[in-house]
Amino acid sequence: MDQSNEMNGSARSWTTRRDKKAQQISKMKRLTEGRVIPTNKIVDALEILIQPGDCVALEGNNQKQASFLSDALSHVDSAKVNNLHMVMSSISRPEHLDIFEKGIARLLDFSFAGPQSLRMAQMIEDGSIEVGSIHTYLELYGRLFVDLTPNIALVAADKADSHGNLYTGPNTEETPTIVEATAFRDGIVIAQVNELTEELPRVDIPGSWVDFIVVSDKPYQLEALFTRDPRQISEMHILMGMMAIRGIYERHHIQSLNHGVGFNTAAIELLLPTYGESLGLKGKICKNWTLNPHPTLIPAIESGWVESVHSFGGELGMERYVAARPDVFFTGKDGSLRSNRAMCQVAGQYAVDAFVGSTLQMDFYGNSSTVTLGRLAGYGGAPNMGSDPHGRRHASDAWLNMITGESDIQRGKKLVIQMVETFQQGNKPVFVESLDAIKVGKDAKLPIAPVMVYGDDVTHVVTEEGIAYLYKAQNEEERKQALAAIAGVTPLGKGSGSEITEKLRKDGVVAFPEDLKIKRTDAKRSLLAAKSIDDLVDWSDGLYEPPVKFRSW
């Protein structure tokens, strides 16, 4: 027993969180019976259940948004609900920041703020929002179970029954993680659903974890973020894709991998059934994937390249296709995808051979970030994917292929591949002497610069000029020289010496297309297995149903 309490004649309570929850829930009896909150009473309910200073986890993924609940939170009376500590993986909707301007929330811990990055930077400068930390997804999820455990969780699901059981369908994403952290430490879980029904296709989250459900006035927001129209893939993307397949995937025997979203990786996916097939690589590379159901992966799946795909989330229009390919995707008995952002991040960090991503800026030593001047975007899961986990112990050919020393105690390395064009939109060079992230971090009073992927984790960089095999570089200066050799006419590239470049090519630290037996003139759109969204629909036998904005018919 605590001696101070004993001296005061009182025993310490070990159920303060549970008691607080019971007290708040008891106040709901005048508003609702059972678990179901009337749709038109949700603001009243939030004002009853949330107390000033509470830690509130609001679900906002890359794609799925608890949009009904976030809108309701922005309409509570700030005299009743204020000073909240918000924990959100993605700042995606205007009301996510409105709550700070209205004084409802004060402190924010998050991972990504792409759609709201400009406003976020301005609000930090104005002092209307206080940032705890910018996290990777896994880092944020981990802290939910340590020092950021929510008092309140606001999440979204497709359907619920009267017992509170939830069906999340293809877009499970981070819902189970948020709910578990909250429910098992006596927090209150509120789920918005599109439909209340007595029979669910499957139970994704048991009702014993859920306190209240509310039927939203319209379906939760869902974005098609991982769909890339093949019409937008350029010959430059195709050339870079050919180099990646020949100079990295084939060379290092990459069997398992994560592709980030982008036209560079979409080009690779559409080159596997054509260019990859011509190299005799089917069955030798690219078997197991961690990524959302990319429509551009359909031809590779249909032609027998892909053995498995585990997904962070779903993708609009891919539902019927995924359900028809259970040998490839992780699906439930109902046929729909079971995505899981937390477990897919774990798989992407520890279980795959390679991560292939991109960035807006890279410095002369390979450090990169999507945080640029005036934009505080964060970085989501890229630092998890784009890092070499020192805890890995299982070997693969690709992992072992990164060993460069001769000691008896050696460890391999995950391949971290950055594919960037030398200039981004607006003719801005990607390669810069100093990342904007350094200044942005200082202006936002962050304790460390918001670097997305650290240079010492990057093993390969691909541009339209060639490949830099950074893992082979002997020191920092040689890393810089290797990057300069493929940096084109950027300031970094202009400083590259021809003699140094030729030595790097001879030593295998740099490879140009011709070194990989690739003719630049062969990089034509005719190589793509699908050249339009319509072609992807054909490959899927009509199972893929693209959102209207991607259709050309």
In a shared domain, residues 360 and 347: no
- How many Cα atoms are found within 13 Å in the side-chain-facing hemisphere of 193? 28
> Of 196, 275, 273, whose CA–CA distance to 241 is shortest?
275
- Which residues constitute the domain of residue 449? 354-463+467-511
Residue 6 has pLDDT above 60, yes or no: no
Helix (H, G, I), strand (E, B) or coil at 36: strand
User: What digits encode the pLDDT tens for the residues 504-521?
Assistant: 999 999 999 999 999 999
- What CATH number has the domain bearing residue 358? 3.40.1080
Instruction: Quote the tokens at residue 490.
Output: 């950027």
Residue 140 pLDDT > 70: yes
Looking at 328, 352, 376, the residue that finishes a domain is 352
CA distances from 24 to 103, 187, 212 (A): 22, 10, 12
Q: pLDDT class for 5, splitting at 50, 70, 90?
A: low
**Residue 551 to residue 547: CA distance in whole angstroms:** 7
Residue pLDDT, tens place only, 226-235: 899 999 999 9
Q: Tell me: do 38 and 184 sit in the same domain.
A: yes
pLDDT in tens, 384-408: 999 999 999 999 999 999 998 888 8
Quote the CA–CA distance of 256 and 288 in Å, as a whole number: 5
Whether residue 487 is found in the same domain as residue 456: yes
Does any domain span residue 531? no
Any bridge partners for residue 155, and if so which?
191
Q: How far apart are CA 163 and CA 208, in angstroms?
A: 8
How far apart, in whole angstroms, are the C-alpha atoms of residue 272 and residue 529? 8
Same domain, 337 and 371: no
Q: How far apart are CA 504 and CA 482, in angstroms?
A: 7
Pairing of strands 368-369, 361-362: antiparallel
pLDDT for position 483: 97
CA terminus-to-terminus distance, the chain: 73
Rounded CA separation 154/314 (Å)? 20
Tokens for 163?
Answer: 């017992």
Is residue 371 domain-shared with residue 324, that is, in the same domain?
no
Q: What number of other Cβ atoms are within 10 A of residue 527's Cβ?
A: 20
Q: What is the CATH number of the domain that holds 82?
A: 3.40.1080.10
Lowest mean pLDDT of 122-126, 349-353, 434-438, name the range.
122-126
Q: Is residue 98 part of a domain?
A: yes
Would you say residue 73 lies in a domain?
Answer: yes
**Are residues 478 and 429 both part of a single domain?**
yes
DSSP letter string over 99-159? HHHTTSEEEEEEEE-GGGHHHHHHHHHHTS-EEEEE--HHHHHHHHTTT---SEEEEEEEE
**pLDDT for 495 beyond 80:** yes
Amino acid at 40: N
Residue at token pair 């877009």: 171
Strand spans (E) along 197-312: 212-215, 221-222, 256-259, 288-290, 308-310
What percent of the chain clears pLDDT 70, i.e. is strictly above it? Answer: 98
Query: Which tens digit of pLDDT belongs to each residue from 234-266?
Result: 999 999 999 999 999 999 999 999 998 899 999
Same domain, 47 and 89: yes
Residue 26 lies in a domain: no
Co-location of 48 and 179 in the same domain? yes
Q: What's the CA gap between 468 and 472, in Å, rounded?
A: 9
Task: Among 325, 352, 379, give the residue marking a domain's end.
Answer: 352
Q: How many CB atoms lie within 10 A of CB 475?
A: 8
For residue 422, pLDDT beyond 50: yes
CA distance to 74, 280, 553, per residue, from 82 (Å): 11, 62, 49
Residues 462 and 359: their CA atoms lie apart, in Å, by 12
CATH number of the domain bearing residue 288: 3.30.750
Q: Three-state SS for 395?
A: coil
Q: Are residues 304 and 358 in the same domain?
A: no
Distances (CA, A) of 496 to 321, 482, 507: 48, 9, 16
Q: Of the residues 297, 330, 352, which one is the last residue of a structural domain?
A: 352
Q: CA-based diameter of the chain, in Å?
A: 86
Helix, strand, coil percent values for the chain (each to nearest 5)? 35, 20, 45
* Residues whose CB is less than 8 angstroms from the CB of residue 406 and which lie 6 or more positions away in sequence, other chains included: none
Are 194 and 57 contained in the same domain? yes
pLDDT tens per residue across span 188-203: 999 999 999 999 999 9
Please check whether residues 375 and 318 belong to one and the same domain. no
**176 three-class SS:** helix
Question: Quick one: pLDDT band at residue 371, thresholds 50, 70, 90?
Answer: confident
84 vs 82: CA distance, rounded Å: 5
- Count structural domains, the chain: 3
Mean pLDDT on 328-337 = 96
Q: What is the pLDDT of residues 143-170, one digit of tens each?
A: 999 999 999 999 999 999 999 999 999 9
Residues 399 and 325 in one domain: no
